[in-house]
A and B are shown apart, each in its own frame.
Chain A
Amino acid sequence: MLCLLLFWEFAKIGLVCVGGGYASMPLIQAAVVDTYHWLTLSEFIDIFTISQMTPGPIGINAATFSGMKVAGLPGSIAATLGFVTPSFILCLILARLLLRYGSIGAIQGVLNGLRPAVVALICAAGLSFIALTLFDVDRFPATIAAMKERFDPKSAVILALAVVAVRKKANVIHILLACGVLGVALGMIG
């Protein structure tokens, strides 16, 4: 029963959260902390921290970890499946509609406007990531002095090597793994 309830609660969250992983966190908190008292607030903050630290989409991480805390492995599976079920149904409907009506001029117009927007958003995410990697903040520091103070030379070295590997068309997955190993190795030396 608890698993069914988890599935249902996370399905509702998955249906109403628009705008990415961070937007889902207050909704998850409202359900698991405030309504059902499955978790304490400090446990929830742990979940938030862990979700940010671990690879993978933050919303999925939070759903999995909440479910795990509440009802073990079956709970984590129920919460995760609940969370993605509305997305799955809505995306399939939308994809079908797009295949059928995508050639209509108006829809082509909208898509023509959205394509450069997505490129812009990828660029913005990329720049934020450079700032995060080199200076450990998501905006570039305002002054040269602040940049010098926050600069992380080890990350810069790994980033430079990764750029070379990307340009040489190395396998994406190998690059990520190698960067993880390099991070540990350089960190241990320093």
Chain B
Amino acid sequence: MDDNKEKRGGHFYRALFWSTFWISALTVGGGFVIISLLKTKYVDEFGWLDDKETLDLAALAQSMPGVMAVNASILLGYRMAGVPGALTALAATILPPLITLSLIAQAYEAFASSPVVRLALQGMQCGATALIVSVAVDLVRKKCKEKQTIPLLILVGTFVANFFFGVNLMILIVIDGLAGLMFLQGAEAKQKLDV
């Protein structure tokens, strides 16, 4: 991670704010879903960050206190444009729930029992599913191309432990961090060419 705080213009902040705002407003689901959607915007569409930085910051966001999606937007915003970037991304993440819930609080019963709302949310969940699966497939494919044994072992082991055995995320993060510390200190030079 080098040249932080590149000069960013008004256009950048507008694009950052609105893309983050709409993703926060429309995404049903937790931290890793929002990270995947932010990645499709920040990395795949705008090219503001690369995969590697996004994954690093996602791991940090998960390890910090607070809500992962909020931590992720702060860290990614900071990485892209320093403190102004972090503030922009944070505001864009928390404003949609603030607006949505202010409206819902006025008419809770009507909202909670409305079939239209339920159907729309179910539909949006399908969209979020398609997006996170696409991001997952994309990232796994890139990891496989690297052909490095230990990262692949970590990937498979973490997946199995989490999905099939429900092992706590924090425990997995600590174990994988230690595994990296012990076995992957020199791996950097090789990886730089790829992801």
Contact = CB atoms under 8 A, between A and B. Distances in A.
Nearest to A91: B74
B29 interface: yes
B65 A95 contact: no
Given A64-B102, A120-B162, A92 B97 contact: no
Q: Which of B83, B124, B179 has the most CB of A within 10 A?
A: B124
B126 A158 contact: yes
Nearest to B27: A55
Contacts of A92: 74, 78, 83, 86
Nearest to A115: B55
Contacts of A113: 151, 154, 176-181, 183-184
A88 B26 contact: no
Nearest to A15: B65
A110 to B, nearest CB: 4
- Interface SS, A side: helix
Given A90-B65, A114-B59, A129-B125, A119 B155 contact: yes
Given A21-B67, A112-B191, A126 B129 contact: yes
A26 interface: no
Interface residues of B, number: 116
B127 A158 contact: yes
B88 interface: no
A155 B169 CA distance: 29
A72 B137 CA distance: 44
B16 interface: no
B151 A121 contact: no
A177 interface: yes
Interface of A: 14-21, 24, 46, 49-50, 53-61, 64-65, 68-69, 73, 76-77, 80, 83-84, 86-88, 90-92, 94-95, 98-99, 102-103, 105-106, 108-130, 132-133, 155, 158-159, 162-163, 165-167, 169, 172-173, 175-184, 186-188
> Considering the complex of A and B, which 10 residue pairs feature the smallest CB-CB distances, nearest first?
A113-B180, A183-B123, A179-B127, A87-B66, A162-B130, A187-B119, A120-B158, A56-B97, A109-B185, A112-B184
